[in-house]
């Protein structure tokens, strides 16, 4: 059976104090609503047949709910990130413990390299890494060296208009890369495999299985576009996280390979 496990982390009551870079800070983040939305997000995984594990909460770290930024998982290897924002580097300790408990080998991005997991898009043996914001060239080089023995091709992609690469683009189950054109610096990176979506949050999908995507409720036209392509679409309201530049991808780490399995 396919291994379908996700690491998640409960939002901090201080989430509204987190970092924002490309949007105006909202003064009305509702921490109680954020918890309810997070619980609905987790439940969407459960309904799709996934198991979830909670990384130890970190109330003192406002951005800790965005657990995807703490690592890059490829095959049986978990590369623990070194976040580009120094304020977020404490988030990786408990996340590393959680993924190690699943039996993954552990490696680390070391100084002076920086890398956020949200800058990494993986599909079909290729790994695109956004550079220019939270992730630097040294971080990309270290990731390339760590993933090369696993056969991955790592490609750097400049990111200037959004926080992370996966704020701009993600991939559908068959490999088409989707993005909201005003926020994609260079769609020619995926020439012939790029699909423009009508809403910013329509660019963010989590693959639940080979025909099902999870996405934000704030992109109904994009959802209809995906349905017209034969996909099943699950939507969740993540409005409080969107106020902090969050999206459906950054709220979990998806584990799809069981370490040590054939």
261 is a domain residue: no
Please confirm, yes or no, whether 250 is among the known catalytic residues.
yes
CB 26 within 8 A of CB 242: no
73 is a domain residue: yes
Closest to 55 in 3D by CA, of 104, 97, 12, 103:
97
Residues in the chain: 262
225 is a domain residue: yes
Among 180, 204, 247, 250, the active-site one is: 250
Tokens standing for residue 28: 């009305």
Segment 206-258, tens digit of pLDDT: 999 999 999 999 999 999 999 999 999 999 999 999 999 999 999 999 999 88
262 is a domain residue: no
Q: Which domain holds residue 110?
A: 5-255
With bands split at pLDDT 50, 70 and 90, how would you rate the model's confidence at 262? very low
**β-pair type (253-255, 177-179):** unpaired
Please determine, for residue 35, whether its predicted confidence score (pLDDT) is greater than 70: yes
28 is a domain residue: yes
206 is a domain residue: yes
**β-pair type (51-54, 71-74):** unpaired
Between CA 162 and CA 168 the distance in angstroms is: 7
Among 5, 46, 164, 247, the active-site one is: 164
Segment 132-151, tens digit of pLDDT: 889 999 999 999 999 999 99
Residue 9 half-sphere exposure, CB side, CA atoms within 13 Å?
A: 32
Segment 160-200, tens digit of pLDDT: 999 999 999 999 999 999 999 999 999 999 999 999 999 99
pLDDT at 261: 54
Residue 102: CATH number of its domain: 3.75.10.10
Please determine, for residue 1, whether its predicted confidence score (pLDDT) is greater than 70: no
163 is a domain residue: yes
Please determine, for residue 260, whether its predicted confidence score (pLDDT) is greater than 80: no
Please confirm, yes or no, whether 247 is among the known catalytic residues.
no
**Domains in the chain: how many in total?**
1
260 is a domain residue: no
Segment 48-85, tens digit of pLDDT: 999 999 999 999 999 999 999 999 999 999 999 999 99
Between CA 22 and CA 248 the distance in angstroms is: 18
């Amino acid at each position: 059976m396919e291994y379908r496990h996700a690491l998640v982390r409960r939002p901090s009551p201080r989430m509204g104090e987190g970092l924002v870079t490309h949007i105006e800070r909202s003064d009305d983040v509702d921490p109680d609503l954020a918890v309810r939305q997070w619980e609905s997000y987790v439940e969407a995984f459960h309904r799709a047949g996934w198991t979830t594990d909670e990384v130890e909460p970190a109330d003192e770290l406002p951005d800790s709910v965005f657990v995807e930024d703490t690592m890059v998982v490829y095959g049986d290897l978990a590369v623990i990130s070194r976040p580009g924002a120094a304020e977020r580097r404490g988030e990786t300790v408990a996340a590393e413990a959680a993924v190690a408990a699943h039996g993954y080998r552990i490696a680390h991005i070391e100084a002076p390299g920086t890398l956020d997991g949200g800058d990494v898009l993986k599909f079909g043996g290729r790994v695109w890494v956004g550079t220019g914001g939270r992730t630097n060239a040294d971080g990309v080089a270290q990731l390339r060296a760590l993933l090369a023995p696993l056969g991955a091709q790592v490609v750097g992609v400049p990111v200037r208009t959004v926080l992370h690469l996966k704020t701009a683009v993600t991939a559908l189950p068959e490999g088409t890369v989707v993005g909201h054109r005003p926020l994609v610096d260079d769609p020619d990176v995926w020439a012939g495999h790029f699909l423009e979506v009508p809403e910013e949050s329509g660019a963010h999908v989590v693959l639940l299985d080979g025909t099902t995507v999870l996405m934000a409720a704030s992109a109904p036209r994009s959802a209809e576009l995906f349905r017209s392509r034969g996909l099943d679409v699950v939507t969740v309201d993540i409005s409080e996280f969107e106020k902090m530049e969050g999206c459906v991808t950054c709220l979990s780490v998806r584990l799809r390979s069981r370490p040590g399995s054939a």
